[in-house]
Amino acid sequence: MKTFRNPILPGFYPDPSAIRVGEDYYLVTSSFEFFPGVPIFHSKDLIHWRQLGHVLDRPSQLNLDRTTPSRGIWAPTIRYHEGVFYMITTFVDNDKDCHNFYVTATDPAGEWSDPVWLEDAPGIDPSLFFDDDGRVYYTGNRVPPEGQEYAKHMDIWLQEIDLKSGKLIGDKLSIWQGALKVGHAQEGPHIYKIGDWYYVLIAEGGTGHTHAITIARSKQITGPYEGNKANPILTHRHLGREFPIVNVGHGELVETQHGDWWMFCLASRTSGGYYRNLGRETFLTPVKWENEWPIVNPGKGILEFESTAPDLPETLWPLLSVRDDFDEDELSLAWNFLRTPQGDFWSLKGAPGHLRLRLKPEKLSDLANPALVARRQQHLSFRTAADMTFEPATVDETAGLVLFQNADNHFRFEMASGEKGFAGETGTLTLTVRLYGEETVLASIPWNNAHTQFKVEAYGQDYSFFYRENEQHTWTPLHRNADGRVLSTDTAGGFTGAYIGLYASSNGADSSNHADFDWFSYEGLE
């Protein structure tokens, strides 16, 4: 009996939406303020996934300028109909206004179209449903037309859509308001037609500990919808805060080509108490049907770290290398930018075999696009390292390795010069933690070498920082057992997960300088 391990997409990959096209499976997740937006994955067996690219990979598709932490792209849904892939999602701006749009492609690897923005489409978490009669429906959430009876009380609504004109047509219909009156935050609706029934699967209970998945059904797409008396069909809120998998919700149902059913959903792993550095991750669990209702993970009813694998031929993809030597013509798909890149600040050609970062005035603490290239932390315990050549010319210039949650909560492991400049023998290697917007220097030493190697080892919430000049030297600790909970959403707030990145800044000043990174490595220690 083959088994698989959850999460199937570790690290910050929340709000999974997935489809099957023949014997191929495609999956997208939210990306918030990071660019490119909406990573898209392909699988043959539901377990092993390879990233094809990003749906929103051009500035013309996604302008994240000055987007505040945890705004941006929320809860995409992917669908397929008659040779065309559709991805529909919400862009949430800094005023919390919700702007819903969709893009299309005939190849899921892209390129995808520019957005079709929808008018009079309130709320978040849009989804598309293609009915048997050729009609197409939009569903999302909104404030109930009759008003909210309690805090975060939301309404799931339905309306026909004309995809050729990009317009909603007909009347808006309220179809369900969730299983519990106190459930609140009814969102993430997906509609399916299975047998004679239309099902609407939603998330409710908020994105935190009380997150849950509920379901209702109707013989007509317009309703009335009857809630499952066994709701919620999946949650971990009753298991307590010490259970290692928490905040389970936001589901998607997929049927295999053999007639088996599976559910994708988000959840988080905790570490060092109720702290979730990795953000919300993508999990998978089996589903059976009884009396025309889904039973999630029969006999257990919860997500497990290890489960029996789907009855599909195992299809493995090349694993992402532990070490990136920056020898390719393009950045690996694992790398992201913070907001839409502005200016020509990074290059793989300026110093062949290196990632060159040109210093920008923007800082990590700014609501801007700093010279940062970063990838997700995907393990509770990990080791990461990087090789950098950098000669700071002024006191303002810094570069190094960062561990990032948001503008006000991160670590910076940086090289800088002192008041006399780099040649003045006052250079430093400094570890700074920024917590709730306040900065503390955890350690600093004199450092006047143009060549620096950084290393971070994390075991749970104990993060230790090391340095050396090159491979001929042993690693020297700069600071041991820093508290990694600064990288948790439970400390920092928001909906994202921790990133590890390469960074360069002139801290508000103009600069023509650059830092060259020869390699970067990341590996899990679990």
Q: Which residue of the set 45, 125, 155, 187 is catalytic? A: 187
DSSP secondary structure string for all residues of 223-252: ---EE-TT--SEE-GGG-TTSSEEEEEEEE
Q: What is the pLDDT of residue 61?
A: 97
Q: How confident is the model at residue 420 (pLDDT cuts 50, 70, 90)?
A: very low
Which residue in 427, 426, 433, 392 sits closest to 411, CA to CA? 433
Tokens of 97: 């206004």
Mean pLDDT of 495-514: 97
How far from the centroid of its chain's Cα atoms is residue 187's Cα?
A: 18
Q: Which residue of the set 15, 155, 204, 396 is catalytic? A: 15
Mean pLDDT of 133-156: 96
Concerning whether 292 is annotated as a catalytic residue, the answer is: no
Q: What is the 3-state secondary structure (H, E, C) of 54-88?
A: EEECCCCCCCCCCCCCCCEEEEEEEEEECCEEEEE
Residues in a beta bridge with 100: 90
Q: What is the pLDDT of residue 183?
A: 86
Q: How confident is the model at residue 526 (pLDDT cuts 50, 70, 90)?
A: confident
Q: What is the pLDDT of residue 26?
A: 98
Cα–Cα dist 470/473, whole Å: 6
Tokens of 287: 């589903």
Q: What is the pLDDT of residue 176?
A: 98
Summarize pLDDT for 162-196 with one digit per residue, the tens: 999 999 999 999 999 999 988 899 999 999 999 99
Residue 179 DSSP SS3: coil
Percentage of residues in the chain with pLDDT exceeding 90? 96
Tokens of 125: 């978490």
In degrees, rounded to 5, the angle at the alpha carbon of residue 79 between the alpha carbons of residues 268 and 93 is 60
Q: Are 426 and 419 in contact (CB under 8 A)?
A: yes
Q: How confident is the model at residue 419 (pLDDT cuts 50, 70, 90)?
A: low
Tokens of 387: 């090789």
Which residue is associated with the tokens 């509609």?
191
Cα–Cα dist 373/358, whole Å: 11
Concerning whether 260 is annotated as a catalytic residue, the answer is: no
- pTM of the predicted model as reported, rounded to 2 decimal places: 0.97
Cα–Cα dist 247/459, whole Å: 23
Q: How confident is the model at residue 261 (pLDDT cuts 50, 70, 90)?
A: very high
Residue 22 vs residues 83, 344, 363, 437, 501: alpha-carbon distances, Å:
12, 41, 47, 50, 38
In degrees, rounded to 5, the angle at the alpha carbon of residue 205 between the alpha carbons of residues 191 and 161 is 25
Which residue is associated with the tokens 């909906």?
495
Residue 423 DSSP SS3: helix
Cα–Cα dist 64/99, whole Å: 13
Q: β-strands 84-92, 98-105: how paired?
A: antiparallel
Q: What is the pLDDT of residue 423?
A: 45
Q: How confident is the model at residue 425 (pLDDT cuts 50, 70, 90)?
A: low
Q: Are 200 and 176 in contact (CB under 8 A)?
A: yes
Residue 490 DSSP SS3: helix
The one-letter amino acid code at 218 reads S
Q: Is the per-residue pLDDT at 426 higher than 80?
A: no
CB atoms within 10 A of CB 19: 19
Summarize pLDDT for 367-388 with one digit per residue, the tens: 999 999 999 999 999 999 999 9
Cα–Cα dist 265/203, whole Å: 10
Q: What is the 3-state secondary structure (H, E, C) of 1-15?
A: CCEEECCCECCCCCC
Tokens of 431: 């570890």
Tokens of 285: 């669990």
Tokens of 263: 């559910």
Q: Is the per-residue pLDDT at 512 higher than 90?
A: yes
In degrees, rounded to 5, the angle at the alpha carbon of residue 453 between the alpha carbons of residues 355 and 436 is 85
Which residue in 225, 224, 231 sits closest to 203, CA to CA? 231
User: Can you list the pairs that 170-173 forms with residues at least 24 positions away whose Cβ atoms lie under 8 Å?
Assistant: 173/222, 173/223
Q: According to DSSP H, which parts of 101-259 are helical? A: none
In degrees, rounded to 5, the angle at the alpha carbon of residue 135 between the alpha carbons of residues 130 and 140 is 60
Q: What is the pLDDT of residue 407?
A: 97
Summarize pLDDT for 279-307 with one digit per residue, the tens: 999 999 999 999 999 999 999 999 999 99
Q: What is the pLDDT of residue 418?
A: 65
Summarize pLDDT for 213-239 with one digit per residue, the tens: 999 999 999 999 999 999 999 999 999
Burial 68-87 (b: 16+ CB within 10 A, else e): bbbbbbbbbbbbbeeeebbb
Tokens of 89: 């999602």
